[in-house]
């Protein structure tokens, strides 16, 4: 009898975590490596948020919290949705988890039965299909393309939906592509969903505040109120507030779903860290001016990376609307030979040879369900990004 659960055979390890680990190992061996695999801001958590955590410690806010989160944070979440997204959620319709991952996992665990399908546009964040599989569901991929900006079209959505479809996962701005949906694009997708009342929408808005130029963020329940009763709107403080390690994600949705997620979380982890929750109260209620400053820095980095990658032989890099990733194509380099003599047959070969030759760690696109591409996180200094892009230019020029 096998000791490990059969469910593990359906799940792959996280490619993004693996790349970051490989980069760390090579650095430890003395290699000069620039790691562009990590999806976290390089900014520090703002001082007012850190002070709120210290004050909470000094007040003795160190006990268990309610499973769904402390009331002041749930009220702050409700206020945020009203203020920024024009969405009315009572604080009892909200839930706080240990990062966005737990929110997603609990929602899927609470709703999926064997045979239920979840539509996931590709390229996708590496954890979506694995979570669906672990929760007993079946991922159903709706492919996008570089030609339509890596965005799900109404026709592709319609084609992916079957009588077994229970959820659509929407991530805008997207990890890995940085693609973000306009209000009109969301309305067109909503029109398809209105014709399929069995399909719920799980919208991952974690990169909401990181959009560039004149782009205006919107979320689907805001654009189509008729979908409000079957939408779980998920967000968190990780990206915009530079609080990845604090592990606070949150969501709002129909009260029955929130209660089911609360029941699962109650048997799993109970409430998130009390100190991190009080820090998140300050993040949502406190000054927001630093977000715009950080966004301007990210936009400068994006423009630098896109420009330099498009100057590299055989690389085509679209301009993303948001997040802090680019998702360039290396299609033209497939079939070429690296300096080691290895033929580049896949995007995985490309990133492996790039790491070996130039010490630049990026993630292969097939890990996100769409290749031949690769993902670069530009959440690091312009100096390092410039060096990395110069190395990529040198590597692509060396391919024969």
Q: What is the pLDDT along the chain (400 residues), one digit of tens a residue?
A: 889 988 888 787 777 777 778 788 888 888 899 999 888 899 999 999 999 999 999 999 999 999 999 999 999 999 999 999 999 999 999 999 999 999 999 999 999 999 999 999 999 999 999 999 999 999 999 999 999 999 999 999 999 999 999 999 999 999 999 999 999 999 999 999 999 999 999 999 999 999 999 999 999 999 999 999 999 999 999 999 999 999 999 999 999 999 999 999 999 999 999 999 999 999 999 999 999 999 999 999 999 999 999 999 999 999 999 999 999 999 999 999 999 999 999 999 999 999 989 999 999 999 999 999 999 999 999 999 999 999 999 999 999 9
Domain final position from 285, 307, 331: 285
Q: Is the backbone of residue 251 left (phi > 0), alpha (psi -120 to 50) or beta? A: beta
* Contact (Cβ atoms closer than 8 angstroms) between residue 207 and residue 169: no
* Contact (Cβ atoms closer than 8 angstroms) between residue 39 and residue 375: no
252 and 200 in a single domain? The answer is yes
Q: Is the pTM of this model over 0.85?
A: yes
270 and 335 in a single domain? The answer is no
Q: Which structural domain, as residue segments, surrounds residue 104? A: 64-285
242 and 302 in a single domain? The answer is no
Domain final position from 285, 319, 351: 285
Alpha carbon distance 285, 280 (integer Å): 8
Flag whether 190 is in a domain.
yes
How is residue 244 written in tokens? 């990845």
* Contact (Cβ atoms closer than 8 angstroms) between residue 112 and residue 136: yes
* Contact (Cβ atoms closer than 8 angstroms) between residue 359 and residue 353: no
90 and 35 in a single domain? The answer is no
Q: How many CB atoms lie within 10 A of CB 275?
A: 17
Burial class (CB in 10 A: 0-12, 13-18, 19+), 397: exposed
């Amino acid at each position: 009898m096998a000791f490990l659960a059969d469910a593990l055979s359906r799940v792959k390890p996280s490619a993004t975590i693996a790349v970051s680990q490989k980069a760390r190992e090579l650095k430890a061996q003395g290699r000069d490596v620039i790691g562009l695999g990590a999806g976290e801001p390089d900014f520090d958590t703002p001082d007012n948020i850190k002070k709120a955590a210290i004050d909470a410690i000094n007040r003795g806010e160190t006990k268990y919290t309610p499973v769904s989160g402390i009331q002041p944070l749930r009220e702050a979440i409700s206020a945020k949705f009203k203020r920024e997204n024009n969405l009315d959620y009572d604080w009892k319709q909200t839930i706080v988890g240990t990062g966005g991952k737990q929110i997603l996992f609990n929602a899927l665990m609470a709703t999926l039965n064997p045979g239920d399908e979840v539509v996931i546009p590709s390229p996708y964040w590496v954890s979506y299909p694995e979570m669906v599989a672990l929760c007993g569901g079946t991922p159903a991929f709706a492919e996008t393309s570089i030609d339509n900006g890596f965005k799900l079209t109404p026709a592709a959505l319609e084609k992916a939906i079957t009588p077994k479809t229970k959820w659509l996962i929407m991530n805008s701005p997207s990890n890995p592509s940085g693609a973000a949906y306009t209000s009109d694009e969301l309305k067109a997708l909503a029109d398809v969903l209105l014709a399929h009342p069995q399909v719920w929408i799980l919208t991952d808005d974690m990169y909401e505040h990181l959009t560039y130029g004149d782009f205006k963020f919107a979320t689907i329940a805001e654009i189509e109120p008729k979908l409000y009763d079957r939408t779980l709107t998920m967000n968190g403080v990780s990206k915009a507030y530079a609080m990845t390690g604090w592990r606070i994600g949150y969501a709002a949705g129909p009260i029955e779903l929130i209660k089911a997620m609360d029941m699962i979380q109650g048997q799993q982890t109970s409430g998130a860290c009390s100190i991190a929750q009080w820090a998140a109260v300050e993040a949502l209620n406190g000054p927001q001016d630093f977000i715009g400053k950080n966004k301007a820095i990210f936009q400068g980095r994006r423009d630098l990376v896109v420009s330099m990658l498009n100057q590299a032989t055989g690389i085509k890099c679209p301009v993303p609307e948001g997040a802090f990733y680019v998702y360039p194509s290396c299609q033209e380099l497939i079939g070429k030979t690296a300096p080691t003599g290895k033929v580049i047959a896949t995007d995985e070969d490309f990133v492996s040879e790039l790491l070996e030759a130039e010490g630049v760690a990026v993630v292969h696109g097939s890990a996100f369900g769409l290749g031949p591409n690769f993902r670069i996180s530009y959440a690091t200094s312009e100096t390092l990004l410039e060096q990395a892009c110069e190395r990529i230019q040198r590597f692509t020029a060396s391919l024969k």
